[in-house]
Amino acid sequence: MDFSRVTVLCLGDLMLDRFIYGAMERISPEAPVPVLRLTRTREMAGGVGNVANNIRSLGGRAILLGLTGDDAPGHALRQLLAETARIENRATVSATRPTTCKTRFIAANQQVIRADEESLTPLTTPELAALREAALQALPEAQAVIVSDYGKGVCHPDILSVVIDAARQRGTPVFVDPKSLDFTRYHGATCITPNARELGQAAGFPTETLDAVEQAARFLMAQAGADAILATRSERGMALVEGAAPIRAVPSRAREVFDVSGAGDTVIATMALAHAAGSSLEQAMHIANAAAGVVVGKLGTATADIQEVTAELEAQLDTTADGVAPVDCPLLDREGASALAERWRAQGLRIGFANGCFDLLHPGHIALLTQARAACDRLIVALNTDASVQRLKGPSRPVNPLADRAAVIGALRHVDAVTAFDEDTPLALIQRLLPDVLVKGADYTRDQVVGADVVEAHGGRVLLATLTPGRSTTAMLTRAGR
């Protein structure tokens, strides 16, 4: 991953994050409260400033737009940004509005209290005009826009409507971390990234299950005219709802969590960088999930660098080293499957490929996949889309839609990745992935296997798996009277 050529315009509420560390060793004689003996203080850019810090840490360049006061916290914040490479601070300085400052008191690696200094009064007309003009001037330099709304006034509808419309006219993707429950103020965004609680509150729906997340996301996408919603689900990982595609989810990796401060900033920064660098939103979700996993293992408002994210991605792959795929095994698009295959290939792993409808799972399927996985290190299963199944099997098929078939296949311990193809044959997908082992049932002969010549030309082989007699979806449906 190389984000060095990506510039992201970061617009939102800028603040100073102050961390005061100490030790609690006694109770005050003045009141029944602990006494914190201070040892050190650390200051850093917070809010949209932390988004910019994540952009910088991951190797990109950030143009930072927000509002600071003409006060001591504002001076400290501007000094910090001036000393930070790859962040260009173009924040407006207000003569009357204080700088938002969040002071966290920390003892024994735990935050014990937070004190906020801020103004919740609306921005003035000149302040709004200055921010709007600065955003429009910076937009031609950016390959992506991030709107980081902390509810402090900068993300005013008059600013957002102009900036989002101008970005979309240029073909520049816009990512929004929302604070308002009224998603219409983010109208036209490419991707909105609420957490599950925010998603449920904005939609008025529960969001405990993936089905509920999808229902809430589609409701809000229609309201906001957004292309996609990425819902972060804490220890459950993330879920992406994009266009008419089925919901795609990625689980989090089990870890010790020290602090979730700033994790949302890391997610949106990584999503914007990865997508601007050429990744699909689904691929970007996987990278963002890894980045979030890094920062929650750190204390305080943290960032992740590209080496840490790469290592985390590899660690997530290693959790399937015994062939056990996550229950929420995502349905990869062609680009995602190709990128995963390239990563495995770079590790010297043998890649297997099997394809089919896999409509009603039966022992014959299990036998084929068992043999396939035994012949390789990683197994990719490609499913016919619903339209492809109908062309091959007739209008009454499939019994189960693609999303359901992918969920079932992806939960099998033999399967490491699931993708799909809409053509009548998987030839184009095989040409893209170039597996080392191509698997079909023994009811085929070598010359009947689509893609056999392609695989063998690249040094691979064809495996004709032994079939289980009398086991087929068609036979099952016949017995069921269909």
pLDDT in tens, 93-121: 999 999 999 999 988 778 899 999 999 89
Q: Say if residue 62's pLDDT is above 80.
A: yes
Residue 482 is predicted with a pLDDT of: 52
> DSSP readout, 409-462?
HHTSTT-SEEEEE-SSSSHHHHHHH--SEEEEETTS-GGGSTTHHHHHHTT-EE
Residue 474 is predicted with a pLDDT of: 56
CA gyration radius, the chain: 26
Residue spans of the domains in the chain: they are: 7-15+44-103+119-318, 331-479
**Does 198 carry a binding-site annotation?**
yes
How distant is the alpha carbon of residue 364 from its chain centre? Answer: 36
Per the residue annotation, which of 17, 177, 265, 333 is the catalytic one? 265
**Does 255 carry a binding-site annotation?**
no
Most confident of 113-122, 139-148, 285-294: 139-148
Residue 110: phi, psi to the nearest 5?
-130, 140
CA distances to 255, 257, 259, 348 from 298, rounded to whole Å, are: 11, 8, 6, 32
**Does 195 carry a binding-site annotation?**
yes
Q: Say if residue 321's pLDDT is above 50.
A: no
Q: Which fold has domain 331-479?
A: Rossmann fold (3.40.50)
pTM over 0.85: no
Query: Predicted confidence band at 5 (pLDDT cuts at 50, 70, 90)?
Result: very high
Query: Predicted confidence band at 323 (pLDDT cuts at 50, 70, 90)?
Result: very low
**Does 196 carry a binding-site annotation?**
yes
Contact status, residue 20 vs residue 106, Cβ threshold 8 Å: yes
Q: Which fold has domain 7-15+44-103+119-318?
A: UDP-N-acetylmuramoyl-L-alanine:D-glutamate ligase (3.40.1190)
Query: Would you call 259 a catalytic residue per the annotation?
Result: no
Q: Which tokens sit at 193?
A: 């990234």
